[in-house]
Amino acid sequence: MINDDIIRLRALEPEDLECLYQWENDMDLWEVSDTLTPFSLFTLKKYIETCHLDIYTTKQLRLMIERVDTNARIGLVDLCLLYTSPSPRDR
């Protein structure tokens, strides 16, 4: 978990499913997320179950953004690994 006095970034949890479902299927947000079709609850549930995998494998890290004072979910951030030099693990 990463946080300061205002926000925290944390891994997705199963309890985030409904929120993620609403945001991912909000057509007003599709332009910024490059989404073209709706996501099912089943698909998002499976995503949450596997999003903990290593960033070198999935090439993406998605974190929930929460307010520290209220624990309210306010957004998501996706960190994408577009290119890496050889990993120290590969040496």
Q: Whole-number mean pLDDT of the chain?
A: 87
- The whole-number pLDDT of residue 59 equals 77
Cα 27 from chain centroid? 18
User: What integer is the mean pLDDT of 57-72?
Assistant: 90
Whether 57 shows a pLDDT value over 80: the answer reads no
Instruction: Measure the CA angle with vertex 64, ends 9 and 85; round to 5°.
Output: 70
Q: pTM for this structure?
A: 0.79
- The whole-number pLDDT of residue 28 equals 92
- The whole-number pLDDT of residue 39 equals 94
